[in-house]
Each structure stands twice: as structure tokens, then as C-alpha cells.
Amino acid sequence: MNLLRNRWLGGLLKARWFPAAAQVLLLAVFLLLVLGGLGVTATDPDLTQYLRDTNLANLIVWSYWWPVIILAAVLFGRLWCTVCPMEFITYWAGRIGLRRGVPGILKSGWVVTVFYTLVWIVGIQTLAVNRVPHHMSLYLLLLILVAVDVSLLFERRAFCSYVCPVGHLLGLYALLSPLEWRADDAGVCARCRTRDCVAKRNHYRLAGRSCTSGLYPAAIADNRDCLLCTQCWKACPQENVRFGVRRPLADLLAGVELRPAQAGFILVLSGCVVYEILSEWPVSLEIMMWGPERLTRALGTTGALSDLVSATFLFVVAPALVLLMVTALARWACGPERVSFGQMAKTVTLLLLPTTAGAHILKSLLRMSSRIPYWPGALADPQGIETAQAMAAGMRVPDTSATDALDPAVSLIAMALLLASLAATVLVFRRTAVRQRLSPAVQAVLGLSTLSYWSVFAVMIVCWRLGS
Ligand code: SF4
Ligand code: SF4
């Protein structure tokens, strides 16, 4: 089925003003959110704890916008990128910029992986960009600054393709999506003389641009890199593009080849998602923090340095050690027909993706439902300082009746997501085992490791949601 043939959707996506008008509108919202957080800060940790939810801008960015785009990526692909205001900024910066060739280090993908890791370790865990509204605003402004600089320097859509951690994350989740953007008829592309969808002369047109993500629609192999920007469809005189429905997980089942930096990205991502889910329940949080707390005590670190050490351990060191162990064990189980270490590590990380995505969606739902009680206060006092002070002093208590009412449904969805992740993992695992001709011993190592990863979430969720 080609959704572009739908009169309403096709009409909207084909319009010359789309997505530019939506991007301009969202840019205005983006700037309002930045303004909503600027200057709103607190030194008292108790107050910060409340401020993250009482400040309207912070509440929208971290508890609704971010969860919604994660969910959308798994369901529809990089849908956020279609209307992302940053893409609009990068386009205009690119038009007037130097248009230099993109260096190999950016193309390798390691820059975006390191950027994502720093966002977690320094931005979120140390500077609390997700809790202090002022820091959130500075973070968003930093993203704009980096996007403009990269786009002024390098040709095409360099920021979106090689630097933006949001787009990179969404691209990985888009591998699971039941939708794909592809050429409709490869024969039409083969006979095409103008190649408007890739022609350099069309790179900087506002509407009907050729692909500045370096893709040729007839050769798109998977969902990672396509921004669903609709430009190649507008450029194509034959309208030979399909936004079609396919089997969920299709790219994973087809054996998508991860780049080394993407395997590193998934590794850090899995550490972050484990942290996000386990920190929902005090019991699992205490268990998870056992190692980092002993480490910081042994090193004698305190304050921000302690946060830095803990975060590095949780998001980089611990996942890397587990990956090294599993990969080494799987290679040893290969016997004489050894696969390279890198290849095996990529296989292991790919198998983590369905469970990671399921857990990430679950975290998103938990966050959205748990923050409902803060809406009345945030709407009445958008800055949120007075509301946070009243809450910290115990003079105001959020009304949790709506969240409580949703609780059974959330528990049910949590169980369904766990089972769906398990089923998806088993499917991908079986297909990978056949395609890579994995021996029974290797299958046992990889199967047990993947199941253990899934069990971390399953045991915690079952004990937390059903036990309390
Ligand atoms: S890659 Fe990043 S900047 Fe580009 S469109 Fe996607 S989210 Fe926006
Ligand atoms: S393939 Fe088409 S829709 Fe995808 S990023 Fe390129 S121009 Fe945009």
C-alpha cells in the first residue's frame, strides 16, 4: 500500500509549503520553549526536583515532546525529522555556507556517538539539563548553534546526517517501523534521464530538493538515514516514490549491517534505557547504584565529579564490559570458524535493539502518565518557581487521581510491551542465526545473553507493578 496515494495525506505532503510551514511553526514553538526555561533555575536540590515538572517548558520538552517522538519513530520512522525546525535552520545555513566536503571523521558516525554519550554523562547526569529549565534552554540553544556552525561549514544536510543525536537515535528505532520510504518502481528510476531526486543542481531548492541526505530512493536499503522530508518525491517528475506499509522489524529481519559507531551508539543507549527504567522503582534503583556508589566512594569523589564517574560507569563502562564478555564468549564458542570480534559485537548489539526500543517506549508512557498531575500548576504558573516552592514546602500537593486511574492500564501496556519486545527479539534472533549460520553453541551464548538483558526489564517491571 502506498500512503502517498491517499488523497488527504498525499495532498498534504505534496504541498509546496510542506514541510516548511510546519517547520516554521515548530521553530516558533521551539523558541518559546527556550524562552520558557531561560533564567528558571534553583540551587536547592529539593526545589529542582519539583521545578523540572512545574516549569511548563521543561514539562513539555522532557515529559511529552521527547516521549512522543520516540514512540513515533518506532511506529512511523523518522517522522519527527519531517517537521523538525532544526532541519529548516540547517537548510538556510547550508544555502549561504561554505559547502565544504564532509570529513571522514563525521561520516564515520563516531562524532554523533560521542556527542550522544556526552549529552547523557555531562548534560543529563551532571548538569541536569532535564531537571533545570535554564540548563534545558541552554542545551537547546547549543543544539541550534552546533547545527548552524556545521551547516555553514559543510555541504548538504551534514548536521542531520552526521551530528544530530536525536535523528541518529530515531533512525535506529525506525528500523523497527512498519512503514518505509522507497522508490515505487525501480524500473522507472533505471530509465530516468534527469535524476532530479539526486541531481546536484537541485540540492538547495526550497521545495523539490534533491536528497541532501545522500540517498538515492531506488537504492534505499533501510530506514536509518531517510528523514521522510518528502523532497525527493516533490523533485521526481514521475512521482515514483512510495511511503508504504511493510512488515514491522523488516530491516532487522533483512539483516541490516550496523556501522561500528552505531553499535557503540546502541551500547550507550541500552545503558541509558536500563538506567531510566530501573530508576523508576526505589528498590531497583538501589540495586543498580550499588556498584557506582562503591566506585565513587573508593575514588573519593563528591558532587558533580561523583555524578560524572557514576554516569560514565553506568552508560559506558558497564555496558562495554558486558559486551566484551558476551562477544568474547560467543567468539570462543565459534570454534575454529571464527568470526571477527567487530562482526560478533555488531550482532550482539543489534539483538539488543527490539528490547531497548520496547523499554524506551515503556519509559515514555510512564513519564507521560506520571506527569499529568503537574499540568494545572504549570499552566497557571508557567515559570513554575512558586509552584515548586509551594510543593517543596508541602503546601501544595499535586492531584494524582488521573495518574492513579490510568495505573492499571499502564501496567497492562507494560506487560504487553515486554511480551512484544520478547517476541520481536526471538524473531530477529532466529533470522540472524539462520542468516549468519551460527552454531548451536554461539546461539546458546547469544540467546542467553539477549534473554538476560530482556529479563532485567521484565523482572523489575513485574516486581514493581504487580508486587507493590
Ligand atoms: S536529524 Fe536532527 S536536526 Fe535533522 S531533522 Fe532529524 S531531529 Fe532534526
Ligand atoms: S530519500 Fe527523499 S525523503 Fe528521504 S531524506 Fe532523501 S529526499 Fe528526504
pLDDT in tens, 242-281: 999 999 999 999 999 999 999 999 999 999 999 999 999 9
Report the residue count for the chain. 468
Question: What average pLDDT score do residues 295-316 get?
Answer: 95
Element of type H or E holding 263: helix 260-278
The cell numbers describing 321, all together, are 564490559
Mutation pick for ligand 2 pocket among 231, 233, 241 (CB with most ligand atoms within 8 Å): 231
Q: Is 211 in the pocket of ligand 2 (CB under 6 A)?
A: yes
pLDDT above 90 covers a percentage of the chain that reads 96
Position 468 confidence tier, pLDDT thresholds 50, 70, 90: low
Whether this model's pTM surpasses 0.85: yes
* Residue nearest to ligand 2 atom 6, measured at CA: 211
Beta bridge partners of 270: none
The predicted-structure confidence for 382-436, as pLDDT tens digits, reads as follows 999 999 999 999 999 999 999 999 999 999 999 999 999 999 999 999 999 999 9
Q: Is 171 in the pocket of ligand 2 (CB under 6 A)?
A: no
Position 43 confidence tier, pLDDT thresholds 50, 70, 90: confident
Position 465 confidence tier, pLDDT thresholds 50, 70, 90: confident
The predicted-structure confidence for 432-446, as pLDDT tens digits, reads as follows 999 999 999 999 999
| Surface-to-core class of residue 401, CB atoms within 10 Å of its CB (0-12 exposed, 13-18 middle, 19+ buried) | exposed
Q: Is 86 in the pocket of ligand 1 (CB under 6 A)?
A: yes
- 391 vs 381: CA distance, rounded Å: 13
Mutation pick for ligand 1 pocket among 78, 86, 112, 226 (CB with most ligand atoms within 8 Å): 86
CA 262 distance to own-chain centroid: 12
- 22 vs 81: CA distance, rounded Å: 11
Mutation pick for ligand 2 pocket among 90, 211, 230, 241 (CB with most ligand atoms within 8 Å): 211
CA 458 distance to own-chain centroid: 21
Q: Are strands 179-183 and 241-245 parallel, antiparallel or unpaired?
A: antiparallel
Contacts of 58 (CB under 8 A, 6+ apart): 36, 37, 40, 51, 52, 130, 131, 133, 136, 384
- 356 vs 269: CA distance, rounded Å: 8
Contacts of 319 (CB under 8 A, 6+ apart): 267, 268, 270, 271
Q: Is 230 in the pocket of ligand 2 (CB under 6 A)?
A: yes
The predicted pLDDT at position 335 comes to 76
- 180 vs 6: CA distance, rounded Å: 15
Q: Are 460 and 281 in contact (CB under 8 A)?
A: yes
